[in-house]
Chains A and B, each alone.
Chain A
Amino acid sequence: AQSVTQLGSHVSVSEGALVLLRCNYSSSVPPYLFWYVQYPNQGLQLLLKYTTGATLVKGINGFEAEFKKSETSFHLTKPSAHMSDAAEYFCAVRDVAAGNKLTFGGGTRVLVKP
């Protein structure tokens, strides 16, 4: 069964500093990988996804993530944090072998300090 692990339930960064959110997954086949963001009292919004091809994926709001098959990782980064990046971030894996089920990690809440 596929699973997703996000290291750190809370991350605090200073405005302008690097944001790094870690995600590791387990899957029996090469997966499709996603990062979603959730702002307070809102649903989930797609930041970026990896399907095939280039392993470095760029998303909205300056975020990017790199798929590393050897490390089974899909870490999310942003070079310079902005106050508006304060939200909860979820990594998810979609396994075609499991009926295209989307499985989420536990989430990482990002706090941005001025």
Chain B
Amino acid sequence: EAGVAQSPRYKIIEKRQSVAFWCNPISGHATLYWYQQILGQGPKLLIQFQNNGVVDDSQLPKDRFSAERLKGVDSTLKIQPAKLEDSAVYLCASSPQGLGGNTIYFGEGSWLTVV
């Protein structure tokens, strides 16, 4: 079974530029998550989708971050304009719909450096 796919793996941009990350979840998984992991810290949830609807985006900096999940499958996370403090790993994850005990599976992450 294919895992969660993310691209690009690495990106270096200058501050005030824009960047987009793409995620393809495990087939059939209704729930998709984007986490931000700053070096030395635990992952922080940015946004959670259930199919193509947003369940939780309370920690998404909406003035610069946006995310969409068209057709309830793939998702894109965009940052515009980027700030130095956005340097982090952006982790996409997915899980089956339903019980809270279901495992959440993570992709390998997209590493962003803002200079």
Could you tell me the distance in whole angstroms from the C-beta of B61 to the nearest C-beta in chain A?
Answer: 18
- Contact across chains for A43 and B42 when beta carbons are under 8 A apart: no
**Residues of A close to B108: CB separation below 8 A:** 41-43
Given contact pairs A44-B91, A44-B106, A99-B55, A32 touches B41 in the complex (Cβ within 8 A) = no
A113 close to chain B: CB less than 8 A: no
* Interface size bracket, B side: 20 to 34
- Contact across chains for B41 and A49 when beta carbons are under 8 A apart: no
Could you tell me the distance in whole angstroms from the C-beta of A65 to the nearest C-beta in chain B?
Answer: 15
Interface residues in B60-91 (C-beta closer than 8 Å to A): 91
A100 close to chain B: CB less than 8 A: yes
Of the A-B pairs whose beta carbons lie under 8 Å apart in the complex, a sample of 19, sorted by A's number, is A32-B101, A36-B106, A43-B91, A43-B106, A43-B107, A43-B109, A44-B43, A44-B93, A45-B106, A46-B105, A49-B103, A95-B100, A99-B48, A101-B45, A102-B45, A102-B104, A104-B43, A104-B44, A105-B42
